[in-house]
Structure 1
């Protein structure tokens, strides 16, 4: 096996610090005195998470029609995992594609799977296997996931048996190389192989905190869709038969940061277009979510529920105003923005605006 020496420059002191961090986060208690014991302790815990979870992780096969200009059909293969004991599992939508026939390997058997729903925007596909009671993984506490949180991924690399990968969360991103995600994703240090996409990302207790959704930088690291997003997709498909995305109709500068997220545009025929919000307003809160950066607006829109009443708090020239409206459904094509209209007198301010206390927490 050829090793890339670029990954071998970590000093022993840095490696030891990483082991201390991982040991504490994985619940290993006090780090043993000898470095060899530290490696063994972490390996033991990673193996425990893997052994407890591997039965719930499956290999997914999707038959694909021949590509244009070819005559040979082919198969895409990835990983997936059960989320209940009734055979419901999730995987990456990119594995399924336009496949007319999907199957999964469960306990040495290859079983047909029904596609309950597929959402290209989030990258999630929900499948069903009808084969009695199935082992399954439970979702972890997403609020406990921070930068440098140790994680374990389980998947099927290439044509090999399932295997664990150990790494950590290295950041939280809403875009990669100019491509915006549907919501904030976990950036991980997990180098992954073909076949592992769609597998679960687990915390030290074995709870699902994400799903591997995309490899980056020649597979040197990977992005994972967070558990809360997976749960939203699964719930929407179960309730509505499809994913319903909330739509507010507010555009903000994606580079906004440092508690200065300004509205840049409003879209026609959307809840926001007649609410009284204006370009130039600084967004303070959307529903229960505090807005400190542009990604907070992206997440607020992603997790909003169609039909819910929503309050948006903005700062306009030092005055906090609240606007309330009902969340609409995101259109397949975005409408055009409406021209900016800046009121010239108090009479021009819509009556939906409700002043709130200036000392409102931000």
Structure 2
């Protein structure tokens, strides 16, 4: 396997899927697989945090099976056709959350996922709502940023903008980062003000906006609980790297996926994506993809239809303590290099089959997932140090990462 793929794994106990808001209930997931040692408990496109000192729980992708929950029309829905976000002003008894909601809510849309089914009674193909998520309008000419797991498997997407339901088309998806861009044929939309995730602080107030359980334009408030969380998850399309996630205690639930995490000035600083929970419902720990990274992926998708990522060119397998003892390896944790892609950055750096990777950059390597996450935390063209164990020697090699174009 290459550094953007996975290897066979031993089964771990099955996890609980997020509960459905309305029927039909989702089919039971197959038991997830782990790299050994109980490192990862997965559901859908979500995984337990890598390298974070957290209690074992389940990381869940936030998509609600079923149809939307109808909510009464509101002034926020009525203003969703404005062409620019409102200015934010906290005065008198107006809280920051009220001001943020007034400014940012019109830019967050409800995304309904539909699949086409043949109806034997009518002899026609009909569309059936099978789930919902959220999205953020990033350009007034109809471009909307959301999660890949929101749009994956959809035959048709319907986006609610104000009181209008509009069919959306997928511009491009990037399963390896769980991001996607869709577009509606509309202009003059209320594009969100995009902030920056570069100078966020733990403890600063935030607001999450989305459609949990199908409840459109739901606003919750909290703080940034932590920064720099990382996670790797496995799906049918390969591995997904969640790097430098924003952790928040603002309540987010299934249906919030693709929605906005905003700062106190109403600027979008993250795309709500995952929760950590043993029940499938919010338990005080949610995660958002930083907006600086998300917009970089979105801009590339809009320009080219896809996103590129750093590539090193190694096929690895996880080494744990039992494997190390069985094969008398010199270390008890790392990523064993099974093969090296000819002409790849790894080959140029001198990495060889049989090497054990124990560090990439500043990241300690203990598994295949760690290799994937570490490579993805860098940029194309960046030179990184790769520490390997070869026999009884430790070597520090330097690899200049290339683009993964055509390697998916």
Residue in 2 that maps onto 1:233:
297
1:44-80 deviations in Å (ceiling 9; x for gaps):
011111111011111112212359xxx9853122211
Q: What are the superposed Cα offsets for residues 90-112 of structure 1, whole Å, 9 maximum, x if unpaired?
A: 12222222222212111211112
Q: Is the 8 A contact 2:232 2:242 kept in 1?
A: no
Q: 2:348 aligns with which of 254, 264, 274?
A: 274
Distance in 2 (CA, whole Å) between partners of 1:227 and 1:80 is 13
Q: 2 CA distance for matches of 1:241 and 1:102?
A: 18
Could you say which residue in structure 1 is the equivalent of 2:186? 131
8 Å Cα contact 1:266-1:273 kept in structure 2:
no
SS at match of 1:174: strand
Counterparts of 1:1-362 in structure 2, within 5 Å, are 44-66=95-117, 74-75=128-129, 76-171=131-226, 172-175=228-231, 181-184=240-243, 185-217=245-277, 218-220=280-282, 221-249=285-313, 264-265=336-337, 267-269=339-341, 270-277=344-351, 279=355, 283=359, 285=361, 291=363, 298=372, 301-302=375-376, 304=378, 308-313=380-385, 323-325=398-400, 327-329=402-404
SS at match of 1:78: strand
What stretches of structure 1 of length at least 5 have no aligned partner?
A: 1-39, 256-260, 334-362
Could you tell me how far apart the structure 2 residues matched to 1:292 and 1:149 are? 29
Tell me the CA shift for residue 115 of structure 1: 0.9
Using a 3 Å threshold, how does the CA distance of structure 1 residues 157 and 281 change in structure 2: closer, same or farther?
Answer: closer
Aligned partners of 2:387 and 2:152: how far apart in 1?
Answer: 44
Q: Is the 8 A contact 1:201 1:208 kept in 2?
A: yes
CA distance in 1, matches of 2:195, 2:372: 23
C-alpha spacing 1:107/1:177, structure 2 compared with 1 (3 Å): closer
Contact 1:56–1:137 (8 Å) recurs in 2: yes
Instruction: Pick closer, same or farther for the CA change 1:109–1:254 going to 2, 3 Å.
Output: farther
Q: Is the 8 A contact 1:271 1:328 kept in 2?
A: no
Higher helix residue share? 1
For the 8 Å contact 2:309–2:404, the answer to whether it is kept is yes
Alignment length (residue pairs): 283
Measure how far apart 1:310 and its partner are.
Answer: 3.2
CA gap 1:119/1:321 in 2 versus in 1, 3 angstroms = closer
Aligned-pair Cα RMSD in Å: 3.9
- Matches of 1:91 and 1:136, distance apart in 2: 14
Say which one has the larger Rg: 1
How many Å separate the matches in 2 of 1:101 and 1:227? 26
Q: For 1:277 and 1:225, locate their aligned partners in 2 and report how far apart those are by CA, in whole Å.
A: 32
In 1, the alpha carbon distance for the partners of 2:402 and 2:156 equals 36
Matched residues in 1 for 2:291 and 2:201: separation? Answer: 14
Distance 1:97 1:262, change over 3 A: closer
Query: CA deviation digits over 1:199-221, x for unaligned, max 9?
Result: 11111222222111123313223
Greater shift, 46-55 or 207-216, is seen at 207-216
**Following the alignment from structure 2 to structure 1, what is the Cα–Cα distance between the partners of residues 142 and 317?**
41
8 Å contact from structure 1 (residues 277, 323) kept in 2:
no
313-322 vs 129-138, which moves further: 313-322
Q: Is the alpha carbon distance of 1:281 and 1:63 closer, same or farther for their aligned partners in structure 2, counting shifts above 3 Å?
A: closer
Alpha-carbon distance in 2 for matches of 1:312, 1:194: 37
Structure 2 residue matching 1:274: 3-state secondary structure:
helix
Alpha-carbon distance between aligned partners in 2 of 1:175 and 1:253, rounded to the nearest angstrom: 16
TM-score, reference length from structure 2: 0.58
> Normalization by structure 1: what TM-score?
0.64
After TM superposition, give the deviation of residue 198 of structure 1 in Å.
1.5
Higher relative contact order (CA 8 A, sep 6+): 2
Whole-angstrom CA distance in 1 between matches of 2:319 and 2:384: 18
